[in-house]
Chains A and B, each alone.
Chain A
Amino acid sequence: MLTLKCPYCGVQAEETELHAGGEAHLTRFGPDSSDDDFETYLFTRENPKGVHFERWRHSHGCGKWFHAARCTMTLEVFGTYPAQTTEPPQDIRDAITAKRPGWTWREFS
C-alpha cells in the first residue's frame, strides 16, 4: 500500500486517506490558446515508467492539496512538497537524482 507524508500536517498517510489528483505542474490553457496546447492540456498526460510527479489531496486528514514525487514502477516515494509551486523544488530533485541518476520528467531533470 502506498503511503505519503503530508507536507502540511506531517502525517504519514496511507492510500485510503488520500485522493489522487493526477499529473502535477500542469499549465492550464484556455479558449485563446492554440489547438495543440488545448488538446495537450486536456488529454495528453505524462505516463512515465519511472519518476513521476503528481497532485494528491489529504482528503481524510487536513484536506489540503500537495505534490508527490514517486516511481511508477516500484511505488517508491522520493518526497512530498507543498502545492504552492510550479515546479519540483531542488531538494526533491536532488533526492531523486540520488536514487535514479539521469532521470527526466517533462523539461525537468
Chain B
Amino acid sequence: MTRYSAFAIAREALRDHAGWDRAWRRATPKKRYDVVIVGAGGHGLATAYYLGKNFGITNVAVLEKGWLGGGNTGRNTTIIRSNYLQDPSAAIYEKARSLYETMSQDLNYNVMFSPRGVMMLAQTEHEVRGYKRTAHANSLQGVTTEFISPKRVKQLVPIMNIDGPRYPVLGALWQARGGTARHDAVAWGYARACSAMGMDIIQKCEVTGVMSEGGRVSGVATTQGDIACDKLGMVVAGHSGALAEMAGFRIPIESVALQALVSEPIKPCMDVVVMANTVHGYMSQSDKGEMVIGGGTDAFNNYTQRGSFHHIEETVRALVETFPMISRLKMLRQWGGIVDVTGDRSPILSRTPLEGCFINCGWGTGGFKAIPGSGWGFAELMARGHSPLTDAFSLDRFREGRFIDESVAAGVAH
C-alpha cells in the first residue's frame, strides 16, 4: 500500500500519477476464513478493521452483495454527534465521535471530519425541557454539550429566523465537537486499511444461505460459492431480517425508507449542522455548497430505496419558516435508503441463537455517526464474546425489558 502524504503527491505529480495503487485489492473468495463479515458498509468494514488492529485477527473476508459503501453509508446526511440521553448510547456514540477525530491519521485517509458543531433546536417548551435534561445527562456521561439561548443560536446561525410564528426557536442543545465527515471516504478508508492488513473485500457477492453444524455456524453460501468460517458477523442494516431468517432466528426489526435531498450549491452561509426535530428536518451545508437536508421516514415497511414526494414537501415546508432564505433554492437531487428500526430506536449488537454468529443492526436512522464505535465494540464482542460498549445492546433486552429507550428521548430524527 502506498502511503498517502504530501510527499507522495509531489512524487506522483512528477511522474504523471502512474504510481498510485488501487485503494483495496480485488479479491476472490478463499475456501475458509476465521471471520466472515456480511456487509461492506461502514459498520462492517470498521468491524473488520478493529478485528485486525485491536485483536490481530486478519484472516477475514468482508462480503458485499452490491458495491462497497453503496447502502446507507453512501445515503446518509453525514452528521456526527453523541448527545444521547441514555448511558449505553452516549458511551458508544461518544466512542465513535472521539475515534472520528483521529480517523484520518489512523487510516492515513482523509475522511474530511469537520467538527463544526451540531445544534438541535428546541422549538416547543417540551423540547426545551427535554434538551436541558439531555444536557445534564451528558455532563454526567462526560459528553460535552450545553443548552444555549436563542440569542446564541442567532449568533451561530445568522440565516435562521428565530421568532417564527409557528415554530419559534426557544433555545438549542449545542454539541460543539459534533460535526460531519465525508461518508464515502469513511468506507473507502476502512476498506483500504483492511485490504492492507491482508483481508479480502469481496464485492458483488451475495449471501444466499447460512450453514451450520450442531447449532454452530460453519459458513455461508454465496453467489461466488460456499465460504467456511469460524465466526460470522451480520452487518447488513435494512436487510438484517432476511439474513437472520437464513440463520434461523428472528429479530425485532422493521425496515423503512428514510430519505434526504440536496439543494443546488450556493455560497457558504451556514457553518454548523442544525437539526429541528419538531419539524422532522435537519440541514447542513456540504463542502460543495449544497444544502444537505434530511427528512423523516416512511410510516410503512418497504425496501424501495426511493422515498416519497410528500415527505420532502413536509420537511422543506417546515424548514422554510426557520430558514426563509432556502425558499428560493432549487432541489438538486433526492434519494432514499432502507433503515432498520427497532422498538426502542437503539441498535442491536449481540450474540445470536446460532453459536458463532453475531449481529450488528438496528441503527435505524442514525448509523453513520456510530460507525467507528460500533466497529470497535462489535469487533471486541466477536473476538472476546463480550464488550463493555455493546453488552447493553444485546438481543435479549427486549425479552427482559431492558430497553435503551431513545425513541422517547431523542424525538424522531437522528
In B214-261, the 8 Å CB interface with A consists of: 239, 241-242, 250-255
Segment among A5-13, A15-23, A85-93, A95-103 that sits at the interface with chain B: A15-23
Question: Contact at A47–B241, with CB atoms within 8 Å?
Answer: yes
Give the docked Cα–Cα distance between A102 and B242 (Å): 17
B102 within 8 A of A: no
Question: Contact at B300–A43, with CB atoms within 8 Å?
Answer: no
Q: Which of A16, A43, A52 contacts B310 (CB 8 A)?
A: A16
Q: Which of A42, A47, A75 contacts B398 (CB 8 A)?
A: A42
Chain B residue at minimum C-beta to C-beta distance from A56: B300
Q: Given the known A-B contacts A35-B399, A47-B255, are A52 and B304 also in contact in the complex, defined by CB atoms under 8 Å? A: no
Q: What are the residues of chain A within 8 A of B309 when measuring CB–CB? A: 1
Give the docked Cα–Cα distance between A20 and B311 (Å): 14
Q: What are the residues of chain A within 8 A of B300 when measuring CB–CB? A: 2, 20, 54, 70
Q: Given the known A-B contacts A15-B310, A39-B399, are A45 and B252 also in contact in the complex, defined by CB atoms under 8 Å? A: yes
Rounded to whole Å, the gap between the CB of A19 and the closest CB of chain B is 7
Rounded to whole Å, the gap between the CB of B357 and the closest CB of chain A is 18
Q: Given the known A-B contacts A39-B398, A39-B399, are A20 and B304 also in contact in the complex, defined by CB atoms under 8 Å? A: no
A interface size (C-beta, 8 A): 23
Q: How many A-B residue pairs have CB under 8 A?
A: 50
Q: Given the known A-B contacts A39-B399, A73-B304, are A49 and B254 also in contact in the complex, defined by CB atoms under 8 Å? A: no
Among A42, A52, A75, the one with the most B-chain Cβ atoms within 10 Å of its Cβ is A75
A72 within 8 A of B: yes
B308 within 8 A of A: yes
A84 within 8 A of B: no
Question: Contact at B255–A15, with CB atoms within 8 Å?
Answer: no
Give the docked Cα–Cα distance between A55 and B127 (Å): 31
Interface string of B285-312 (1 = CB under 8 A from A): 0000000000000011111100011100
B343 within 8 A of A: yes
Q: What are the residues of chain B within 8 A of A40 when measuring CB–CB? A: 250
Chain B residue at minimum C-beta to C-beta distance from A16: B310
B interface size (C-beta, 8 A): 21
Q: What are the residues of chain B within 8 A of A35 when measuring CB–CB? A: 399
A74 within 8 A of B: yes
A33 within 8 A of B: no
Q: What are the residues of chain B within 8 A of A47 when measuring CB–CB? A: 241, 253-255, 301
A27 within 8 A of B: no
Rounded to whole Å, the gap between the CB of A35 and the closest CB of chain B is 6
Q: Given the known A-B contacts A2-B308, A15-B310, A16-B310, are A43 and B303 also in contact in the complex, defined by CB atoms under 8 Å? A: no
In A26-67, the 8 Å CB interface with B consists of: 35, 39-40, 42-45, 47-49, 52, 54
Question: Contact at A49–B304, with CB atoms within 8 Å?
Answer: no
3 closest pairs, A vs B, by CB?
A43-B252, A47-B241, A20-B299
Between A and B, 29 residue pairs with Cβ closer than 8 Å are A1-B308, A2-B300, A2-B308, A15-B308, A15-B310, A16-B310, A19-B299, A20-B299, A20-B300, A35-B399, A40-B250, A43-B252, A43-B343, A43-B398, A44-B251, A44-B252, A45-B252, A45-B253, A47-B241, A47-B254, A47-B301, A54-B300, A54-B301, A72-B255, A72-B301, A72-B303, A72-B304, A73-B303, A75-B302
A contact residues vs B (CB 8 Å cutoff) = 1-2, 15-16, 19-20, 35, 39-40, 42-45, 47-49, 52, 54, 70, 72-75
Query: Given A20-B299, A39-B398, A72-B255, 4 other A-B contacts at CB below 8 A?
Result: A20-B300, A45-B252, A54-B300, A73-B304
